[in-house]
Amino acid sequence: MVDVGGAVVGDTVLAGTSGIRAPAEVFNSIFVAFLGLGTLVGVVVISYTLYNAYKYRYREDEDPAPDVDRPEVGELPEGGGKGKKLFLSFGISAFIVLSLVIWTYASLLYVEGKPTEVQQNGGDVMTVEVDGFRFGWQFTYPNGAQASTLRVPADTVINLSVTSQDVFHNFGIPELRAKADAIPGQTTNAWFVADEPGTYQANCYEICGEGHSGMTADVVVMNGSAFEEWYAATEPANASASDSTAGNGTEAAVSAPGALVPARAGGVP
Ligand SMILES: [Cu+2]
């Protein structure tokens, strides 16, 4: 695996010491490739157009105009003989487009399958359940603890299992390039790896009512030991309300929307 040393490109935080290529990095390279190729194609097409405009320009000193074979509207270009130029440009375009489609699709498969693969290989994946509600987010940790701020360890694969209590929402952390629909009755996954401790912001990306624009949450990336210490002190929000088999706290979160607000004070700082 390529270690990019925790490079920060623009506002994108790339994975560092975890050695796992985060979606932020994958999406960044797709963006750069499309931007680069788009620019290259643009430069070639515009230069060739300008070159021909200059070559076939009107010149007063040539009267009558020399007999050149200018392309007519509707005529297939036959440059290079027997449409060689046409064949070449179609061929190159098809090659570029197909390569991009295949490469992008492979990248998406990587992003979709990576957390499962890491888990199967015995790597660390922390799954946090994200519940959207009008108007806020509730995070449920593997131990059942709930909070309105998402705290995660750095350099760890964080798998978000996103759902909604009421209407459609969309959970996204722009800097970490993590984004998933929050749909009632369904779960959607997104994951990220952050190597730069700090505070990021999660927003709702689906108009959901008057409080939509304020539907934000802090995402605090902590270094491993600080996170462990914090996590060890958390308690399941519903510890007294249901038996410990609830484990990840899903049932309580889904069946008791009324518990959302108290959960903010549910023993999680
Ligand atoms: Cu929303």
116 and 143 belong to one structural domain: no
For ligand 1, the distance from its centroid to the CA atom of residue 64, given in whole angstroms, is: 70
Tokens (6 digits) for 207? 């108009």
Statement: residue 248 has pLDDT above 60: no
What percentage of the chain reaches a pLDDT higher than 70?
75
For ligand 1, the distance from its centroid to the CA atom of residue 217, given in whole angstroms, is: 11
Tokens 């290529």 belong to which residue? 21
Residue 115, preceding peptide bond in cis (omega within 30° of 0)? no
For ligand 1, the distance from its centroid to the CA atom of residue 215, given in whole angstroms, is: 6
For ligand 1, the distance from its centroid to the CA atom of residue 262, given in whole angstroms, is: 20
For ligand 1, the distance from its centroid to the CA atom of residue 210, given in whole angstroms, is: 9
* Domain tally, the chain: 2
State the pTM of this model: 0.66
38 and 16 belong to one structural domain: yes
Q: Which residue range is the domain that position 212 belongs to?
A: 125-263
Could you tell me the sign of the dihedral formed by the alpha carbons of 64, 65, 69, 73, in that order? negative
Tell me the average pLDDT across 42-46: 94
104 and 176 belong to one structural domain: no
95 and 147 belong to one structural domain: no
Question: Is residue 3 one of the residues assigned to a domain?
Answer: no
134 and 247 belong to one structural domain: yes
For ligand 1, the distance from its centroid to the CA atom of residue 16, given in whole angstroms, is: 31
- Residue that finishes a domain, picked among 62, 94, 120: 120
Backbone angles phi, psi at 213, to 5 degrees: -70, -20
Tell me the average pLDDT across 115-121: 82
14 and 104 belong to one structural domain: yes
Higher pLDDT pick, 11 / 219:
219
- Residue that finishes a domain, picked among 58, 87, 120: 120
Higher pLDDT pick, 252 / 24:
24
Q: pLDDT value at position 6?
A: 39
Tokens (6 digits) for 257? 């929307």
pLDDT of 62-97, one tens digit each?
Answer: 766 666 666 677 777 666 667 787 888 899 889 989
Residues 6+ apart with CB under 8 A from 154: 194, 195, 196, 197, 221, 222, 223, 224, 227
51 and 170 belong to one structural domain: no
Tokens 């970490």 belong to which residue? 176
Question: Is residue 189 one of the residues assigned to a domain?
Answer: yes
- Residue that finishes a domain, picked among 120, 151, 172: 120
CATH (domain of 189): 2.60.40.420
Residues 6+ apart with CB under 8 A from 178: 23, 24, 160, 171, 172, 190, 191, 192
Question: Is residue 90 one of the residues assigned to a domain?
Answer: yes
138 and 115 belong to one structural domain: no
Question: Is residue 4 one of the residues assigned to a domain?
Answer: no
Q: pLDDT value at position 22?
A: 83
For ligand 1, the distance from its centroid to the CA atom of residue 214, given in whole angstroms, is: 9
185 and 114 belong to one structural domain: no
For ligand 1, the distance from its centroid to the CA atom of residue 111, given in whole angstroms, is: 24
